[in-house]
Each structure stands twice: as structure tokens, then as C-alpha cells.
Structure 1
Amino acid sequence: MKKLGFILLVLALCVGCQTKKVETFSNTSVTAGFDTFISIKTVADSQEQFDSYFTSSIEKFEYLNKLFDIYNTYPDVNNLKTINDNAGIAPVEVDQYIIDLLNLSKEFYDLSGGEFDITMGSVLKVWHKYRELGLMAMNEGELGKLPSSEELETAAACKGWEFVEIDDENNTVYINNPCTSLDVGGIAKGFAAEVLANDLIEEEIPSGFVNAGGNVRTINKKWDGSPWVVEIQNPDGAGSYLTVSRLGSASFVTSGDYQRYYIAEDGKFYHHIIDPKTNFPATHFHSVTIITENSAVADALSTTIFTLPYEEGSALISKYNQDHPDKPVSAVWLMDQAQANEIKNDHQLVVGNYIAVYTEDLKDYLVVKDPAK
């Protein structure tokens, strides 16, 4: 009777009890910075609560954009342009976010044997100029021009971490070579997405995601308990495409040759991801997608692996995973059939006109989607 009485008491206490409905809210800004959009979706108790999250996130994204900008100056902000402008002149006191970004970039420079190099701003500046002129030429039905090898080699002589002095104690950065400049385009957007995600985690949101121009960072389990599913774009922009799923917190970042490119006088496409060994755009693959928890790590590695031949990139991922077994990295390479034929990897999928080669741990989490079916 005592047990029955206890059960009846519990039932009585739960009469009318219902599982609280999970509500999600979302919003997007196309003017917050980094020349891209920023979308956020989270579980929240109310629209007002979400609006507070979103407003704070956009303000932080705008601030980080100012800090990492190499083209523009802003009142009362010492940013990367300030550092570059003071090369060979004086140290610049900066925000901790810049110190953290530069130190992380140096870690990936060391890990990759110099393949990930934010000090090659002088080389990227040359390509930026020719790409902008090339895009203008394309708009007029003409072909763009190419920088000469001599121009690129002169610019490349300015790169090197030996020219960058970071004072962690005083939060200053000094470039001691007047022609050296920093360009953090290969990591900044992922770093910013990670900052926003961590801010939302501190607000104790149970579930959500940040999408910074295609750099997707998920937070905890999805609100309905299903896996997060992210599309890997087909370089053709149409036809079959690939999706990758992951439970819990993860970042999905892709570097590809199908954006920010122009066609030069030789009839070839020239995109924005430059191989530091050749000073020209890398041509190994059409895209590389990295999946790991930290968005800054995913951004840096997607840039790095894109510029490396498959065997070297695969070895680098293995090395990273050995050093970080608690936060492993997965990868998907999209390439032409001829390139795939040269690769010793049984983990391959046909995706439209391309072949996806992937790390073994993804074999149960990749799906080819055909929109025609």
C-alpha cells in the first residue's frame, strides 16, 4: 500500500505536466562584416531573449571585422591595418583577440611547416590587385592579366615570422621589416565564428548554430535530437551534392576554387587561395572541407590542406589528430576523376562530375544527394 500510495502521489503531482515546447529563433545580417552574411539560430525562452543574443553577436562580429581588417582604419581601433602601416616604424598595442589570433596562426604555421602563413600579405596583396582588375575585365567581356613571377618573388621575399614580434605581456605587435604585412583571411572568419559560439555557450543556450558565410559552427545537440546535417557545395553550383552529418558541437568549413576567381589571358581560372610554395593559386582540388569542433582550427586547416597534395594533407591531419585526440579532425576532398585515380584511398564517392575522397571516420556520415530524384 505504501508503494501504491507513493506512485499515486507522484502521478497526482504530475497531473497536467507537459514537456515544455522547444522554441527556436533565427535571424541573419548581411552587413556585419567579413564581406559575408552571418546567420544565427538558437533555442530561446522568448523572442526577446533571442534578440538579445543576436544583437550581442552581431556587435561582436562587427568588432572582430574591424580588428582583422587590413584595408580600412576605424576611430579608436588599432587593427591589422594599423600593424601593417607601422611595419618598420613602431610596435602597436592591440586587443587580446588579435594577440590570440596571431598566436594561433603561428601554431598552424609551425604545424604545417610554413604552409599556413599569414605573413605572406605582400604576396596576397599582389594577387588581390590583379584579381580585382581581372573581375572588372570579366565584367567587360575581357580577360584579366597575370602578375609576373618576378613581381611575386619580390613580394614573397617580405614574408616570414622572423619579422613579427608579439609581446604577450604588453599586448603589442611589431613588424620589424617595412615590406612585411599580415593577412589573416585564411583563419579570421572561422576565429570570429568560434568567438560568437563561445559567447552563446556562456549564455547557456541548449542548442543552436552560427553560420558565418558558410563557416558553420553548431552548439550542443540539435534541438530535435537529430544530427546536424551540412551541405558541401558542388563546385558546379548545380547537380548532385554531398551532405555530412554530426551529432553535437562541430564546425564545418570549406575552402574552394569556385569563389573569388577570374579568368586570365591564358584562359585559366585564378582563385584566391595561394600556395606559399609557388606563389600561385593551388590546383590540387576543387574544395576541401574540414570538420572539427573549433571553427578557427577548421578554417586554418581547410586553407592549409587545400594547398597541399593529398598525401601531405592527409599526413598533416593524422599528425594533428595524434596531438589532439580529444578534438579530432575529419576531411573531405572534392576533385576531378583524374586526380582521384592517383590517390591511394578506398574511401571515395561520386558526386556529380567530381570525386569525394574522405577520411575513414566519415564513411557512415556522408550522403550524396541528387536534386533530380
Structure 2
Amino acid sequence: MKKIKIFVLVLLILSLTACKQKNEEEISMYNNATVNAGFDTYISISVATTSQEKFDEYFNNLISDFKYLNQLFDIYNNYDGVNNIKTINDNAGIQPVEVDPIIIEMLELSKEYYDISDGQFDITLGPVLKIWHTYREEGLLLLEQGKLGSTPNIEDLIEANKCKGWDKVEINKENSTVYLNESCASLDVGAIAKGYATEYVAEKLEKENIKVGIVDAGGNNRTINTKLDGTPWNVGIQDPTGGSGSIIVVKSEGSKSFVTSGDYQRYYVSEDGKQYHHIIDPRTLFPSNYFHSVTVITEDSGVADVLSTTLYTVDFDTGNKIIEKFKKENPTQELEVIWIMDKDIDVNTEYKKQHSGYLIAYTKDLQDSIVWN
């Protein structure tokens, strides 16, 4: 299942602010975007550089990277000459598959956060997510026709859940192979793939020593350094009603990643009258309903992708325990979180506010960075 992130607005990124220091060429902000780079989304790249030609070179190279990473992480399609996640799944119980080391690196990061989250983030949940994908795609088509969808049988979900587990994943780094040792096993990397790809291309830009940049992959936003004029980035968090406006704005400086997971895209309505979205709780095997959205702000976009999903599927107190565990194991990394929930819900924190018909809670260090629209 491809997890589609909620659109997070980066405001004012296209201002053509120029900067020139002594003995340096003038640099300006250039931008371009495409919907043809994979991951079922638009991808926008902004870079401060010396010319349109130089920017076009950056843009074309990075879009090529996105296309290749999309092929590697795809669970639905085959590509000539590429062994991807689908290839691994298709060979479950049959044989190991030789893959690009990028896949192994991504799988290892997934296992690391499986452990940090006590199993709440689990890419081996593929058999369960496959069932939900079928029902959701059918439900979305019916919704367009004004009709109601249906929900999976719990017995089928429980049976599929027996096929999950990292004990079924064998990684051989020396041979660069991955093997699923049971035929019913399958991987679904939708909750990490886009963020991992965003971080990959952002780090390539950083190695080019660019002064300022933004990579935006359908709401997975990664800033590089601070704006040319020295002012903070203004990152808008979308209103959960699904409109185009932002409910709050976060002021941020330096290189950060912003990723939001929420319930207001890719959902259908079932015959029981309930809405069913795409983010599945691995404990209940049904869509999680604690919050409308969870936004994670941290350095690495892949990590932000993982944690936004993870924290969306657990209650507030459990989420804070995961945050504490992350900070203990990664003491030098910043991690800030924003939860948006129904206004009649209460959570145990002093850092919360009733705003625009919702209760919005946030981690302590954000208290001076949020602009309440």
C-alpha cells in the first residue's frame, strides 16, 4: 500500500531573493516541479544557485533519482532490469533476490524503527495491507459513484496477520540479497519509501554544497539550510477539513524535515457509515482513529516519514514514550511533534490549545515556533 502523506504547505519558497557576497556570483532561488517522477505524487525542488542552467542540471538529476527509487520501492509493478520490493514479494518462499544495496539500507532502517516502536512500525504487515488496499481501491471507486464500500472480514485479516514478522525476512548484506522465507509473507514500504527517497536526494544536494534548497515530495518537505534573506521557513500544517489552507504555521530554521500523516485523504465510506482511511494499526488491523493528523519535525525525512505513521497509530501517552525512546537512542537529533485531534478529546500535557474547532497538542520546544492562523 502506498501511503499518501497529507499536503504540508511550504510558504514563500518561490521568492526570488538574491544574495551576493564579495568575490561571489549572485545566487537566486529557482524552482520546478513534476508529477512524473513516481511515488504517486508531485515533486517540487527549489535550489538557490547561480543560473537557470545550473538549476536545471540539479533538477533533472534529482528527478532521475526519484524515478529510480520509485522503481526500487514499488510493490505493484515490474521494471526491466530492476529487482524491487515486488520482486522480493513475488519470490517469497522460492529464492533470495539480489537487490540494489539501497533497498537493504532502507530495510535495515525499517527494522531499527520496528524495534524503537515496539513493533508499531512494521513493513512486514504487507499481507494485511494488501487486503485493505483491495477494499479501499474498490471503495474509492464506489465513492465516486455515490455508493458505499465494504470492509474486510476480521477473520481474513487475522489469518493474513499470521504471515507478518521479521523472522520471515532474511537479509544477506554480503551477497546483497533479500529472502522472504514463507510464501505468504510480503513487504509494504509505503510508510517509509517517499521519505527515504526525499532524504536521499536532499543529501545529494547537500553534498553539492548548495546554500539553500527545498525538496517537497507530495508533502514530505525537507529544507536545506536557512532562507537567503536569513528569515525562518514558514511551514503550514493543513487544516484536517481537507481544504487548501493551513491551520497553523511553524517557523523553522536550518535543515529540517516535515511529514504529516492523517485521515483526510485516501478514505472511503463503508456500509456501516464509517470512513476508512489508509493508515492501519498493526494491533487492531483496522485504520487508526486517535487523531486527525500527526506532524513530525526532525532532521531525516525517512525517519520523519516513519515516525509520523507510528505516532498516528498510537495514543498520545504511548506516542510520548516512543518519542522519549527515540531521543534516548538519538540524543543529538531534534524531534518535535504536532497532534491535531477532536476538540472534545483531552491529553495529559500543558502544551495544547483549542484552535479552529480542534485540540492541537505539541512538544514543548515548539511553543514559540507556532503561529496560530
Deviations 1:93-150 (A, max 9, x none): 0001100100000000011110000000010000000001101111111100110100
Pick one of 362, 365, 368 that aligns with 2:369: 365
1:151-210 Cα offsets, whole Å, 9 max, x none, are: 111111110000000111111000001001000000110000000101111111111110
Quote the Cα distance in structure 1 between the aligned partners of 2:103 and 2:241: 36
Question: Could you tell me how far apart the structure 2 residues matched to 1:179 and 1:171 are?
Answer: 22
> Is residue 167 from structure 1 mapped to residue 175 from structure 2 by the alignment?
no
Distance in 2 between the 1:32 and 1:20 partners?
31
2:36 counterpart SS class: strand
Contact 2:252 2:369 in 1 (8 A): yes
Which letter does structure 2 place at the counterpart of 1:366?
I
CA distance in 2 between counterparts of 1:317 and 1:365 reads 19
Asked if 1:350 corresponds to 2:333, the answer is no
The equivalent position to 1:311 in structure 2, one of 317, 323, 348, is: 317
Match of 1:336 in 2: 342
Which amino acid is 1:253 matched to?
A: V
Partner of 1:7: none
Conserved in 1, the CA contact under 8 Å of 2:211 and 2:225? yes
Judging changes above 3 Å, is the alpha-carbon distance between structure 1 residues 354 and 172 closer, same or farther for their aligned structure 2 residues?
same
Pick from 104, 111, 114 the counterpart of residue 119 of structure 2: 114
What is the RMSD of the two structures over their aligned residues, measured on CA atoms? 1.2
Once the two structures are superposed, what CA deviation does each residue of 1:242-298 show, in whole Å capped at 9, x if it has no partner?
A: 111211000000000001100000111000000000000000000000000100000
1:22 to 5, 24, 27: 27
Match of 1:183 among 182, 185, 188: 188
Does the CA contact (< 8 Å) of 1:240 and 1:352 recur in 2?
no
Q: Tell me if structure 2 keeps the 8 A contact 1:30–1:36.
A: yes
Contact 1:32 1:61 in 2 (8 A): yes
User: What percent identity do the matched residue pairs reach?
Assistant: 54
Matched, 1:52 2:57: yes
* TM-score (normalizing by structure 2): 0.92
Partners of 1:332 and 1:269 in 2: CA distance: 23
Deviates more, 1:220-229 or 1:66-75: 220-229
Please name the residue that 1:249 is paired with. Answer: 255
Match of 2:287 among 263, 271, 281: 281
Counterpart in the other structure of 1:36:
41
Please identify the structure whose Cα radius of gyration is greater. 1
Return the alpha-carbon distance in structure 1 between the equivalents of residues 177 and 325 of structure 2: 32
SS in 1 for 2:230: coil
1:143 is matched with 148
Structure-1 residue corresponding to 2:69: 64
Moved more, 230-239 or 145-154: 230-239
Match of residue 301, structure 1, among 278, 293, 307: 307
Q: Which amino acid aligns with 1:294?
A: D
- Secondary structure class of the residue paired with 1:31: coil
2:135 paired residue among 120, 130, 136:
130
Corresponding residue for residue 13 of structure 2: none
Aligned mates of 2:226, 2:106 — CA distance in 1: 28
What SS class does the counterpart of residue 189 from structure 2 fall into?
coil
Structure 1 stretches of 4+ moved >6 Å = none
Amino acid at match of 2:262: G
CA distance in 2 between counterparts of 1:18 and 1:212 reads 35
Report if aligned partners of 2:232, 2:253 keep a CA contact under 8 Å in 1: yes
TM-score by length of 1: 0.92
- Matched residue count: 351
What secondary structure is seen at the aligned counterpart in 1 of 2:37? Answer: strand
Q: Which residue of 2 aligns with 1:3?
A: none
